[in-house]
């Protein structure tokens, strides 16, 4: 009798253990691959992205990630900004700056091209090459536009400013016309050089660009699939 009782008890324990294993494994198996990983957005740009003159947690990528998190969105925004980069510099480092696990890119380049008076055709060609390579990798892009400084003259400004809407239309990109909208030339929102935003300036940029970032996230989720 003792042996039979032990056998029944052991059998019940085995069944309970098996049930616990099935319960633990089943939910994970039901989730789509990659469902637990936050979307990774790479902010790819120059000093305006890198956060020149600011602590790391005040730079655009960090502030954007915080704003998205407050909306309940599981997103990682990686800072791939390099101060001083032109569009050609960005093209040269694209492959190692935007890793294989990137789900989307915010492209912010061109300000240094305009400051240096680089031929707008060269800037257009470099940005177009960046976009084409990202599109070939099936990475959705939010293109953040830039405008030429007034001192470059009307002809230069007309040619330069047209780069961004042209590229956005040609590649069906999500488009934010001017990265520094609401911040450029606002003394209280820029550092002493008049070129780089303060932390308060970055907050203005994030608040205005946020709807486009949410649109980018929606497109990235569709691209990732179930």
Architecture of the domain delimited by 39-224 = 3-Layer(aba) Sandwich (3.40)
Instruction: Identify the active-site residue in 47, 85, 113, 203.
Output: 47
Share of the chain above pLDDT 90, in %: 82
Share of the chain above pLDDT 70, in %: 84
Segment 77-120, tens digit of pLDDT: 999 999 999 999 999 999 999 999 999 999 999 999 999 999 99
Handedness of CA 132, 133, 134, 136 (dihedral sign): positive
The pLDDT of residue 189: 98
Average pLDDT over residues 185-192: 96
Q: Where are the domains of the chain?
A: 1-30, 39-224
Is 124 marked active-site?
no
The pLDDT of residue 80: 98
Is 196 marked active-site?
yes
Buried b (16+ CB within 10 A) or exposed e, 34-71: eeeeebbbbbbbbbbbbbbbbeeebbbbbbbbebbeee
Segment 37-50, tens digit of pLDDT: 899 999 999 999 99
Instruction: Identify the active-site residue in 46, 97, 124, 196.
Output: 196
pLDDT above 60 (res 31): no
Q: What is the pTM of this model?
A: 0.84
Half-sphere exposure of 74 (CA within 13 A, CB side): 7
Average pLDDT over residues 16-33: 38
Is 87 marked active-site?
no
Is residue 5 very low, low, confident or very high in pLDDT (cuts 50, 70, 90)? Answer: very low
């Amino acid at each position: 009798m003792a042996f039979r009782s032990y056998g029944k008890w052991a059998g019940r324990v085995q069944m309970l253990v098996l049930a616990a294993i099935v319960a633990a494994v089943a939910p994970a198996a039901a989730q789509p691959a990659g469902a637990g990983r936050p979307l990774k957005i790479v902010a790819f740009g120059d000093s305006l992205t890198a956060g020149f003159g600011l602590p790391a947690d005040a730079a655009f990528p960090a502030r954007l990630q915080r704003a998205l998190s407050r909306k309940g969105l599981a997103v990682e925004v990686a800072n791939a900004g390099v101060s001083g980069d032109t569009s050609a510099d960005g093209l040269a480092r694209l492959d190692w700056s935007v890793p294989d696990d990137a789900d989307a890119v915010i492209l912010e380049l061109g300000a240094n091209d305009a400051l240096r008076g680089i031929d707008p055709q060269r800037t257009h060609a470099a940005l177009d090459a960046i976009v084409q390579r990202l599109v070939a990798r099936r990475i959705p892009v939010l293109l953040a536009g830039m405008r030429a400084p007034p001192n470059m003259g009307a002809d230069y400004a007309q040619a330069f400013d047209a780069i961004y809407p042209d590229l956005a239309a040609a590649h069906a990109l999500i488009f934010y016309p001017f990265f520094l909208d609401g911040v450029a030339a606002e003394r209280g929102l820029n550092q002493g050089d008049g070129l780089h935003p303060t932390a308060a300036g970055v907050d203005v940029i994030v608040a205005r660009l946020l709807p486009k970032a949410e649109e980018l996230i929606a497109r990235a989720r569709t691209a990732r699939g179930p």
